[in-house]
Structure 1
Amino acid sequence: MAEALVVGAFLSGFANVVIDRLISTEFVNLVVGKKLNRQLVERLKTALLAAKALAADAEQKQFGNELVKEWLDSLRDALYTADDLLDHVFIKAEIRSKVRSRLPRFLNMSNSKTVTKIEEVVKRIEDLQKLKDTLGLKEIPTGSSSWRPPSTSLERGTVYGRDDDKQALIKMLIDNNDHKLSVISIVGMGRVGKTTLAQCLYNNEDLMKGFDLKAWICVSENFDVVETTKNVIKEITSGFCSLDGFNLLQHDLKEKLSEKKFFVVLDDIWSNDGDKWKSFITPFQDGRKGSTVLLTTRKENVGPIVQNYNSYFLNGLSDDYCWSIFADNSSFPESNGSSELEGIGRMIVKKCDGLPLAAETLGLLLRSKHDVEEWNMILLSDIWEFPVTDSKILPALLISYYHLPAYLKRCFVYCSLYPKDHKFDKDELILLWMAEDLLRPRKRRETFEEVGRECFDDLASRLLFKQVEHSEKYFVMHDLMHDLATFLAGEFYCRLSEELGENEDMRILTRHLSCDYPIFEKFYSSSRIESLRTFLFISNAQFHDRNESTRLTCDILSKNKYLRVLSFDELAIFPDSMGKLIHLRYLSLSQTNIKTLPESLCKLYNLQT
């Protein structure tokens, strides 16, 4: 089944980028025969083509074979190194050809360190290719996908199979009308439909007529009592809260909720810290009878310890309801209406374990496929049997990922740098993809921005992103999709944050790094990383000591000369060393205190954004 399974392996796409560079007219004219020996370039191209042919097989076998995974990581690392070195040679040659003013003499490429490094990476890729028989790897031809879902695929359809659950929860709400405060938890595994069910209650006009105030807050894994309290105030005051201190926030919230009947949803709760919950819930005690806090959580023991606390366990959908979701998204029977396909489809649905998201994504995947062979390819996929140790990663979602074109795979995995539930800007993400050379125009006169929008819309249509309500430009990733992206990113992507704490660390293979907390200082001081491409501060990543921030920044810049993306939140001065980052494509200083920019900024020849 492997031959039919892979539409475009992740590393195949990366190898294509490096090969395209080697054969591009500009590279050949500026570099080949002048700065790099033609035989060395041909050796590299041959090695890349041979390794690329094995990548698709290796990407599937890595989950059951640790040696194959190590082989794949080594190849990925070698591709990064080759791409960085070739980019460096090309940029130096381009600068020398375009700038007539006196520059430092271009290195003699016949005996330079750069050529030596390129020779080393060529031998490394050749040696990896020689291991194919030992590891049982075989060549798998890969192609590109012509699958394109219709423009209406983003619309949310009917909620299937939850009428009994809705009625049971409504009864719980009514039964609690004699209590000043009730806390109800909807408990279930990821993507079973907890949030969807909570939304049904929240948007039920008849039910909500009895409440004076309502609020919806997505909490996620990092339960910050101060931030969550502030978000409740913002929700019930239509987005305004000028207070910061926790004491002021609690008094303000208590006053706003006092003698009111409220309905507050806290979506995606993970924390079971009793002290945090007792502190958070205090302002909620003085509402009118029937006031309710509704939680959605994957953990049975999550929730505040209050007098009237109830749990509602949400099970998976029946196969029939999952089939309804699958059929709705696969356009069955409108365009795929055969009894043979229905039989195969129902067997696929049984493998979804009652999870609506799994049925939805696989339905979309098969929407434009009309042949029995194509549906059987999904049903009989080896991926269902992958021994994935991370229980959050569903085989159904892995199948959806493996059927992405290679260029979309790299764009999707890059999003693992965002924190969970982070509202990211579509246009900004496209600029980051551009800077990392993840976008490849496929039509004449097509701009990178146009390609980026096509890729983004394609990923969104496959349910990998979802639009933030009442916003055209902000999106979030589904939790399980974020888990999937993080899982696939491996050691090459790292996100340091408060909630991850000691569980996350930068490794020698890390090329892309994002931070949303000063914990970065602790990790970076002992780090040997010298090949970063991405360095992003996201959200609340602020250093309280500006001098320390500047020192760390200079250290980062001096060690990581191949940086392509830089974004800071806390920086007092613009380091002169930044002018040496000739690979830099994206630079964001919008959240810093820098007032003026030095002339060294003009040396960033490749800066796009």
Structure 2
Amino acid sequence: MADALLSASLQVLFERLASRELAKFIWAQKLSPDLLNELKRKLVVVHKVLNDAEMKQFSDPLVKMWLVQVKDAVYHAEDLLDEIATEALRCEIEASDSQASGTHQAWNWEKVSAWVKAPFANQSMESSVKKMIAKLEKIAEEKEKLGLKEGEGDKLSPRPPTTSLVDESSVVGRDGIKEEMVKWLLSDKENATGNNIDVMSIVGIGGNGKTTLAQLLYNHDTVKQHFHLKAWVCVSSQIFLIEEVTKSILKEIGSETKPDDTLNLLQLKLKERVGNKKFLLVLDDVWDMKPNDWDDLRKPLLTAAEGSKIVVTSRSETAAKIMRAVRTHHLGILSPPESWSLFTKLAFPNGDSRAYPGLEPIGRKIVDKCQGLPLAVKALGSLLYYKAEKREWEDILNSETWHSQTDHEILPSLILSYQHLSPPVKRCFAYCSIFPKDYEFHKEKLILLWMAEGFLHSGQSNRRMEEMKGGSREECGT
């Protein structure tokens, strides 16, 4: 994600290097415009190989280190231009204030000159830019050793929080296991643990449909009628935070909480709210849980009516054992026919692959590479729906990303899907990665942040940023 921000930063940097304000500054400082033109040329050389570098970084640690050097150089260039722009704006405001008071005063570029030297340990701006050019030149030379090529790689054209909503039309398979789980949820027999609430776990690797299965159960018509209260909580954080989870449960069942509520108050509210009511709780994407955490979370739930249930999804069977799940379902991968069925629904108009005989055999090979993971099939099926050329499908099939190894267990199919976002959408999407996992985004605030970063561009000089705000969903694909 950070590399998309780098690409976005370079685009913004190019625009600022060509701005009238900077040209004024260069003229006032009596510097040669060739200096910044040379800086721009060096940045362009680096920018041209970013596509290739972004793809190869997943399999080549040296390329990843090279990208870190590029980021450092680009961010230093941004800092320099930010400082110049800030001081230039201050001088402009001072000049405007002087004119408003009836006195005329030209911009005091001498002040700018004196100021701009300060942040660089008494080095002149000219020497600072020359130093930056030398650094970029060295970086550009290293790209040859790393085998990075211009225009190569896939062309650029923290999991978000889950919700209980599901598109059942895009779900295939799992019918047998779903019926078995529904039957268990509707059972009001005495619970196996001797308490009024039992736990069932769905365990499996990332991307194999655990959350989707839990969503199907949660939204099953008979299940909805069977329980008095239901709550869907996406845990997701690798550190289980008992207070946050308890607050989320209370909000889901319509109970108010206050910022200064202690855990004791929260648990008393939860105990009272679920008392003698048949309660269904889904804890989605539990990563790690200590026995003490589970004991504390469970205490207020023990007052729920007989037949209450908890469904937990996790990649870790250890978490299921700590929660004393009476049933654990190890969710396997989709069969080849199921994978192909899901792919055709998403990749072909009307789900009809027969209408595209040139694409069908390529699509089947791509599906085989997804190894039965529903999330991988969905990601690439949705991506290929907008690509009608055989060459585009072959590029996906033959991409080096399939062979990449990452430290973060990112599915190669998801990397491919991300790499093929359009540049504006990619930079907006990547910007969201700076927020903590499960951060709740507010559309208007996020758009303002995109605007502040300079990510939104109308392509029309007579259109103000504020006027673009209403259309920014289309500009950045939100």
Fold in common (TM above 0.5): yes
- Structure 2 counterpart of 1:79: 74
| Alpha-carbon contact 2:235-2:284 (below 8 Å) kept | yes
Which stretches in structure 2 are left out of the alignment for 5+ residues? Answer: 99-104, 158-164
Counterpart check, 1:69 vs 2:80: no
Distance 1:254 1:97 in 2: 62
| Alpha-carbon contact 1:430-1:453 (below 8 Å) kept | no
Cα distance, 1:254 vs structure 2 = 2.5
Cα distance, 1:98 vs structure 2 = 4.9
Among 19, 25, 29, the alignment partner of 1:24 is: 19
Of stretches 427-436 and 220-229 in structure 1, the one that deviates more from structure 2 is 220-229
Of stretches 299-308 and 355-364 in structure 1, the one that deviates more from structure 2 is 299-308
**Aligned runs of 1:91-490 on 2, under 5 Å?**
91-100=86-95, 101=98, 105-107=111-113, 113-140=124-151, 156=167, 158=169, 159-175=171-187, 177-179=189-191, 180-221=196-237, 222-236=239-253, 238-242=254-258, 244-303=261-320, 305=322, 309-332=326-349, 337-391=355-409, 393-449=410-466, 456-457=473-474
| Alpha-carbon contact 1:78-1:125 (below 8 Å) kept | yes
- Structure 2 counterpart of 1:52: 47
The Cα offsets for residues 544-589 of structure 1, whole Å up to 9 and x where unpaired, read as xxxxxxxxxxxxxxxxxxxxxxxxxxxxxxxxxxxxxxxxxxxxxx
Amino acid across the alignment from 1:203: N
Counterpart check, 1:39 vs 2:34: yes
Distance 1:97 1:113 in 2: 22
Distance 1:371 1:394 in 2: 24
Residue aligned with 1:137, SS: coil
- The alignment covers a number of residue pairs equal to 445
Distance 1:23 1:447 in 2: 19
Cα distance, 1:175 vs structure 2 = 4.9
Cα distance, 1:316 vs structure 2 = 2.1
Cα distance, 1:33 vs structure 2 = 6.5
Cα distance, 1:13 vs structure 2 = 4.2
| Alpha-carbon contact 2:345-2:351 (below 8 Å) kept | no
Distance 1:255 1:74 in 2: 57
Relative distance call for 1:115 and 1:252 in structure 2 (3 A) is same
| Alpha-carbon contact 2:200-2:312 (below 8 Å) kept | yes
Distance 2:144 2:405 in 1: 23
| Alpha-carbon contact 1:277-1:305 (below 8 Å) kept | yes
| Identical positions, percent | 38
| Alpha-carbon contact 2:204-2:330 (below 8 Å) kept | yes
Residue aligned with 2:427, SS: helix
Amino acid across the alignment from 1:209: Q
Distance 2:463 2:167 in 1: 31
| Alpha-carbon contact 1:233-1:253 (below 8 Å) kept | yes
Cα distance, 1:228 vs structure 2 = 2.0
Cα distance, 1:381 vs structure 2 = 0.7
| Alpha-carbon contact 1:9-1:55 (below 8 Å) kept | no
| Alpha-carbon contact 2:52-2:154 (below 8 Å) kept | no
Residue aligned with 1:214, SS: strand
Please identify which structure carries the higher helix content. 2
Cα distance, 1:141 vs structure 2 = 6.7
Distance 2:208 2:186 in 1: 25
Distance 2:467 2:383 in 1: 24
The Cα offsets for residues 295-354 of structure 1, whole Å up to 9 and x where unpaired, read as 111111114757762211222222322223322222345687312211111211122222
| Alpha-carbon contact 1:218-1:268 (below 8 Å) kept | yes
Cα distance, 1:25 vs structure 2 = 3.4
Distance 1:434 1:308 in 2: 48
Relative distance call for 1:176 and 1:36 in structure 2 (3 A) is farther
| Alpha-carbon contact 2:178-2:213 (below 8 Å) kept | yes
| Alpha-carbon contact 1:30-1:90 (below 8 Å) kept | no
If the length of structure 1 is used for normalisation, what is the TM-score? 0.66
Relative distance call for 1:234 and 1:71 in structure 2 (3 A) is closer
Relative distance call for 1:321 and 1:20 in structure 2 (3 A) is same
Cα distance, 1:448 vs structure 2 = 3.1
Cα distance, 1:418 vs structure 2 = 1.6
Residue aligned with 2:456, SS: coil
Cα distance, 1:239 vs structure 2 = 4.0
| Alpha-carbon contact 1:277-1:303 (below 8 Å) kept | no
Residue aligned with 1:215, SS: strand
| Alpha-carbon contact 1:47-1:126 (below 8 Å) kept | yes
Distance 1:379 1:17 in 2: 33
Cα distance, 1:367 vs structure 2 = 1.4
Cα distance, 1:241 vs structure 2 = 3.4
| Alpha-carbon contact 1:335-1:370 (below 8 Å) kept | no
| Alpha-carbon contact 1:322-1:359 (below 8 Å) kept | yes
Relative distance call for 1:164 and 1:123 in structure 2 (3 A) is same
| Alpha-carbon contact 1:11-1:55 (below 8 Å) kept | no
- Structure 2 counterpart of 1:484: none
